[in-house]
Amino acid sequence: MLDQTILDPCCGGRSFWFDPNHQGVLFGDIRSEKHTLCDGRVFSITPDLNMDFRKMPFPDGSFRLIAFDPPHLRRAGRENWLRAKYGILGDDWRDDLRRGFSECFRVLEPVGVLIFKWNEIQIKVSEILAFTDQKPLFGHKSGKRADTHWICFMERQVT
Protein backbone atom coordinates (compact mmCIF):
# COMPACT_ATOMS: atom_id res chain seq x y z
CA MET A 1 0.00 0.00 0.00
CA LEU A 2 1.29 3.45 -0.87
CA ASP A 3 1.87 5.99 1.91
CA GLN A 4 0.89 8.78 -0.45
CA THR A 5 -2.79 9.27 -1.26
CA ILE A 6 -2.18 12.04 -3.81
CA LEU A 7 -0.44 11.65 -7.18
CA ASP A 8 1.14 14.29 -9.37
CA PRO A 9 2.22 12.23 -12.42
CA CYS A 10 3.77 15.19 -14.29
CA CYS A 11 5.25 17.16 -11.39
CA GLY A 12 7.91 19.12 -13.30
CA GLY A 13 9.36 21.63 -10.84
CA ARG A 14 6.37 21.28 -8.47
CA SER A 15 5.62 24.95 -9.16
CA PHE A 16 1.97 25.15 -8.15
CA TRP A 17 2.30 23.27 -4.86
CA PHE A 18 2.24 25.34 -1.66
CA ASP A 19 4.39 22.58 -0.10
CA PRO A 20 6.51 21.03 -2.89
CA ASN A 21 7.69 18.35 -0.45
CA HIS A 22 4.28 17.37 0.92
CA GLN A 23 4.61 13.89 2.40
CA GLY A 24 1.16 12.81 1.20
CA VAL A 25 2.01 13.40 -2.47
CA LEU A 26 3.85 11.05 -4.79
CA PHE A 27 5.61 13.31 -7.29
CA GLY A 28 6.24 11.57 -10.61
CA ASP A 29 7.69 12.71 -13.92
CA ILE A 30 9.32 11.15 -16.95
CA ARG A 31 12.13 13.71 -16.61
CA SER A 32 14.86 14.24 -14.00
CA GLU A 33 16.70 17.38 -15.05
CA LYS A 34 18.38 20.58 -13.92
CA HIS A 35 18.45 23.75 -15.99
CA THR A 36 20.32 26.98 -15.36
CA LEU A 37 18.06 29.87 -16.29
CA CYS A 38 19.30 33.09 -17.92
CA ASP A 39 19.33 34.86 -14.54
CA GLY A 40 21.52 32.13 -13.00
CA ARG A 41 18.78 30.39 -11.01
CA VAL A 42 18.65 26.60 -11.22
CA PHE A 43 15.34 24.99 -12.12
CA SER A 44 15.15 21.35 -11.02
CA ILE A 45 12.81 18.52 -11.93
CA THR A 46 13.30 15.93 -9.20
CA PRO A 47 10.44 13.43 -9.06
CA ASP A 48 10.09 10.87 -6.29
CA LEU A 49 9.57 8.35 -9.07
CA ASN A 50 10.53 8.49 -12.74
CA MET A 51 7.38 7.38 -14.52
CA ASP A 52 5.39 7.81 -17.70
CA PHE A 53 1.85 9.20 -17.24
CA ARG A 54 0.73 7.09 -20.21
CA LYS A 55 1.49 3.82 -18.39
CA MET A 56 1.62 4.20 -14.63
CA PRO A 57 3.08 1.49 -12.39
CA PHE A 58 0.22 1.47 -9.87
CA PRO A 59 -2.74 -0.81 -9.24
CA ASP A 60 -6.25 0.38 -10.06
CA GLY A 61 -7.75 2.77 -7.51
CA SER A 62 -4.45 3.66 -5.79
CA PHE A 63 -4.99 7.42 -5.19
CA ARG A 64 -7.71 9.64 -3.71
CA LEU A 65 -6.58 12.76 -5.56
CA ILE A 66 -4.61 13.25 -8.77
CA ALA A 67 -3.21 16.57 -10.01
CA PHE A 68 -2.77 16.04 -13.77
CA ASP A 69 -0.71 18.82 -15.40
CA PRO A 70 0.76 17.31 -18.57
CA PRO A 71 2.95 19.23 -21.02
CA HIS A 72 0.87 21.65 -23.07
CA LEU A 73 3.40 22.88 -25.63
CA ARG A 74 3.66 21.48 -29.16
CA ARG A 75 6.27 23.97 -30.31
CA ALA A 76 9.18 25.44 -28.36
CA GLY A 77 12.84 25.86 -29.22
CA ARG A 78 15.41 23.45 -27.79
CA GLU A 79 16.81 26.08 -25.43
CA ASN A 80 13.44 27.70 -24.61
CA TRP A 81 12.88 28.04 -20.85
CA LEU A 82 9.17 27.14 -21.23
CA ARG A 83 10.22 23.85 -22.79
CA ALA A 84 12.63 23.23 -19.89
CA LYS A 85 9.97 24.10 -17.32
CA TYR A 86 6.91 22.37 -18.79
CA GLY A 87 8.22 19.79 -21.25
CA ILE A 88 6.87 19.35 -24.74
CA LEU A 89 4.33 17.11 -26.41
CA GLY A 90 5.51 14.64 -29.04
CA ASP A 91 4.05 13.87 -32.46
CA ASP A 92 1.55 11.39 -30.94
CA TRP A 93 0.30 13.97 -28.42
CA ARG A 94 -3.39 13.22 -28.99
CA ASP A 95 -2.93 9.54 -28.19
CA ASP A 96 -0.53 10.40 -25.34
CA LEU A 97 -3.09 12.65 -23.65
CA ARG A 98 -5.92 10.17 -24.27
CA ARG A 99 -3.81 7.46 -22.61
CA GLY A 100 -2.85 9.87 -19.81
CA PHE A 101 -6.49 10.58 -18.94
CA SER A 102 -7.29 6.88 -19.09
CA GLU A 103 -4.40 6.03 -16.76
CA CYS A 104 -5.29 8.82 -14.32
CA PHE A 105 -8.89 7.60 -14.05
CA ARG A 106 -7.68 3.99 -13.74
CA VAL A 107 -5.42 4.71 -10.75
CA LEU A 108 -7.96 7.07 -9.16
CA GLU A 109 -9.98 5.38 -6.43
CA PRO A 110 -13.77 5.23 -6.68
CA VAL A 111 -15.26 8.66 -6.00
CA GLY A 112 -11.74 10.13 -6.22
CA VAL A 113 -10.97 13.62 -7.51
CA LEU A 114 -8.83 14.56 -10.50
CA ILE A 115 -7.69 18.16 -10.91
CA PHE A 116 -6.61 18.83 -14.49
CA LYS A 117 -4.51 21.88 -15.43
CA TRP A 118 -4.14 22.99 -19.03
CA ASN A 119 -2.73 26.08 -20.72
CA GLU A 120 -4.41 26.56 -24.09
CA ILE A 121 -1.90 28.91 -25.66
CA GLN A 122 -1.27 26.34 -28.44
CA ILE A 123 -4.12 23.80 -28.11
CA LYS A 124 -7.67 24.63 -27.00
CA VAL A 125 -8.91 23.00 -23.81
CA SER A 126 -12.09 21.87 -25.60
CA GLU A 127 -9.95 19.69 -27.90
CA ILE A 128 -8.17 18.16 -24.89
CA LEU A 129 -11.37 17.42 -22.95
CA ALA A 130 -12.58 15.38 -25.93
CA PHE A 131 -9.88 12.81 -25.05
CA THR A 132 -11.88 11.51 -22.07
CA ASP A 133 -15.49 10.44 -21.67
CA GLN A 134 -15.46 11.69 -18.08
CA LYS A 135 -17.38 14.93 -17.59
CA PRO A 136 -15.84 17.76 -15.59
CA LEU A 137 -17.68 19.08 -12.53
CA PHE A 138 -16.37 22.65 -12.65
CA GLY A 139 -13.40 24.72 -13.71
CA HIS A 140 -11.70 28.08 -13.55
CA LYS A 141 -9.67 30.17 -16.00
CA SER A 142 -6.63 32.01 -14.69
CA GLY A 143 -3.63 34.01 -15.84
CA LYS A 144 -3.31 37.42 -17.46
CA ARG A 145 -5.08 36.24 -20.61
CA ALA A 146 -7.15 33.49 -18.91
CA ASP A 147 -5.26 30.84 -20.92
CA THR A 148 -4.77 28.44 -18.00
CA HIS A 149 -7.70 26.22 -17.08
CA TRP A 150 -8.11 24.35 -13.79
CA ILE A 151 -10.77 21.66 -14.16
CA CYS A 152 -12.14 19.30 -11.53
CA PHE A 153 -13.42 15.78 -12.24
CA MET A 154 -14.83 13.26 -9.81
CA GLU A 155 -14.66 9.56 -10.65
CA ARG A 156 -18.17 8.24 -10.17
CA GLN A 157 -17.57 4.49 -10.20
CA VAL A 158 -18.55 3.14 -6.81
CA THR A 159 -17.48 -0.43 -6.06
63-121: pLDDT as tens digits? 999 999 999 988 877 777 778 788 889 999 999 999 999 999 999 999 999 999 999 98
Asked if residue 159 is part of any domain, the answer here is no
SS3 for 20-73 is: CCCCCEEEEECCCEEEECCCCCEEEECCCEECECCECCCCCCCEEEEEECCCCC
- CATH of residue 139's domain is 3.40.50.150
Q: Determine the average pLDDT of the residues in 41-64.
A: 95
pTM (two decimals): 0.90
Structural domain count, the chain: 1
Asked if residue 48 is part of any domain, the answer here is yes
Q: Grade residue 1 by pLDDT with cuts at 50, 70 and 90.
A: very low
Range of the domain at 14: 6-154
Asked if residue 139 is part of any domain, the answer here is yes
